[in-house]
Amino acid sequence: MEVVILPGGRQIASLVADAVENLLRNKPDAVLGLATGSSPLPVYDELARRHEQAGLDFSRACGFTLDEYVGLEPGHPESYREVIRRDFADRVNIDPDNVLGPDGSAADIPAACRAYEDRIRERGGIDLQLLGLGTDGHIGFNEPGSSLASRTRIKSLIEQTRRDNARFFRSLDEVPHHVVTQGLGTILESRHAILLATGAQKAQAVHDLVEGPLAAICPASVLQLHPHASIVLDEAAASSLKLADYYRHTYEHKPAWQGL
Ligand SMILES: N[C@@H]1[C@@H](O)[C@H](O)[C@@H](COP(=O)(O)O)O[C@@H]1O
């Protein structure tokens, strides 16, 4: 696990967009794992800018979203399918048919979750998985207590997450209680995972994920098992890390060819 501490959102967006761009140049039909929430937005802005101004090409790429609410009507503006379409897919030249998400409105949710895992496998697995971080340490919607080996399935949100996400809805009452999410085992199979976290409200979860024990109480700590995980932080999100100076020193002195 590599911890990268940068001054702010602009530097984070640029570094993570570089990783996506390098991947697409080496593998134009790359499989991208797409995250929602505020954290990846500057990255999507930067990718849209590179597409528009420098022709970064997504025409052969495909994308799989991490998670979805259960019970929102199709086309609801806060369904993650719509959010990813608005924030990312509509702004680059990715084929909309190649952007898939778990189906939160299926009549048979377990079957839809199994089918989603099959789609990911058929495309050869996820090359680069973007991740945000919940204030309770969740990734995707894997809440504390999630099995570290879990696959795509239905989960119940804890109140802290519903309250955190209420800002996207008219009221807390409108935030669904149930979601479908790629599992922690699914996320572990991505070839490269990049987790982005900014702001002091993430500092405790960042500490638990990087320096705490591997434990289901902090689902993101499963990334300690990932063979290639990059944890990209701003100063505020890194403020509770004991070894912050060591991470800074390591990153500043790594060879340029290494990339993320
Ligand atoms: N399901 C999403 C997560 O995938 C995301 O990581 C988290 C953090 O969001 P933000 O980046 O807005 O803090 O929000 C939601 O709960």
Q: Is 68 a catalytic residue?
A: no
ipTM for this prediction: 0.92
Mean pLDDT of 177-204: 98
Give the ranges where the chain is alpha helix by DSSP (H). Answer: 9-26, 41-54, 80-87, 109-122, 159-165, 184-188, 203-211, 244-252
Tally of CB atoms within 10 A around 164: 18
Which residue has its alpha carbon closest to ligand 1 atom 15? 37
Judged on CB neighbours under 10 Å (0-12, 13-18, 19+), 169 is middle
**3-class DSSP state for residue 19?**
helix
Mean predicted lDDT score pLDDT of the chain: 97
Catalytic-labelled residue, pool 68, 87, 136, 234 = 136
- Domains, the chain, ordered by start: 2-258 (3.40.50.1360)
Residue to mutate (ligand 1; options 44, 79, 164, 168; most atoms within 8 A of CB): 164
Query: Using a 6 Å cutoff on CB, does residue 37 contact ligand 1?
Result: yes
Residue 257 confidence (pLDDT): 84
pLDDT in tens, 11-25: 999 999 999 999 999
Cα(36) to centroid of ligand 1, in Å? Answer: 6
What is the per-residue pLDDT across 35-88, written as a single tens digit (0 to 9) for each?
999 999 999 999 999 999 999 999 999 999 999 999 998 899 999 999 999 999
Q: Quote the CA–CA distance of 80 and 212 in Å, as a whole number.
A: 30
Pocket test for ligand 1, best of 12, 41, 165, 169 (most atoms within 8 A of CB): 165
98: phi then psi, degrees, rounded to nearest 5? -100, 10
Residue minimizing CA distance to atom 7 of ligand 1: 134
Of 143, 164, 208, 234, catalytic: 143
Cα separations (Å) of 202 from 7, 13, 51, 124, 155? Answer: 15, 17, 30, 32, 22
